[in-house]
């Protein structure tokens, strides 16, 4: 019996760093995503400071391949608004996605593009199923990095335009240690 090592390894001892061959690393900086925040000027003022980073592996981009990787969101506030990913709809609503929270605390915000919008609490070990019809964004509300593992179709794609234009219907703020949801319509 030939034994080979796993192609990828997720360090669960603390850093949740993903290691392996042919990984793609992308870092998103505040000066690139300032328009996603209620106070774009405050986000822009952070300049080229890291908002979040993604490390992922992708197969051949066929309908049967999976995309998988980790996202690490910094524990920062922008004028009281909790740091977050941009959020996106999938190119194809038939493609679903799973998130597994590895470290930290926050919320997975889901929106159907119309009236339905809700948040699921994310904490270490929580598993989240995202139907393809929902736009989704992850928000870090904790005092440490929020790290989650994502698995979805390699051909599902991501559309950011509508989110950038109108935003999600709610925003998440933190004041005196308490979470406050504000209407964004």
Give tens-digit pLDDT for 24-58. Answer: 899 999 999 999 999 999 999 999 999 999 998 87
**Pairwise CA distance, residues 98 & 129, whole Å:** 5
**pLDDT value of residue 115:** 92
More confident residue, 31 or 154: 31
Determine contact, residues 73/146, Cβ cutoff 8 Å: yes
**Pairwise CA distance, residues 113 & 89, whole Å:** 9
**Pairwise CA distance, residues 33 & 21, whole Å:** 29
> Which structural domains are found in the chain, ordered by start?
8-183 (2.60.120.10)
Question: Which pTM value belongs to this model?
Answer: 0.91
Give tens-digit pLDDT for 105-130. Answer: 999 999 999 999 999 999 999 999 99
């Amino acid at each position: 019996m030939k034994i080979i090592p796993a192609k990828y390894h997720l360090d669960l001892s603390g850093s949740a760093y993903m290691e392996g061959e042919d990984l793609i690393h992308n870092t998103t900086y505040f000066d690139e995503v300032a328009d996603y925040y209620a106070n774009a000027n405050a986000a822009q003022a952070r300049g080229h400071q890291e908002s979040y980073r993604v490390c992922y592996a992708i197969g051949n981009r066929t309908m049967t391949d999976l995309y998988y990787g980790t996202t690490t969101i910094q524990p920062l506030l922008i004028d009281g608004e909790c740091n977050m990913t941009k959020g996106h709809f999938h190119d194809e609503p038939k493609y679903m996605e799973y998130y597994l929270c590895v470290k930290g605390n926050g919320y997975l915000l889901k929106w159907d593009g119309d009236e339905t919008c809700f948040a699921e609490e994310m904490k270490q070990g929580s598993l989240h199923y995202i139907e393809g019809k929902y736009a989704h964004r992850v928000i870090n509300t904790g005092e440490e990095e929020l790290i989650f593992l994502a698995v979805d179709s390699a051909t599902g794609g991501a559309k950011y335009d509508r989110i950038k234009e109108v935003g999600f219907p709610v925003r998440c703020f933190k004041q005196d240690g308490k979470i406050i949801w504000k209407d964004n319509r």
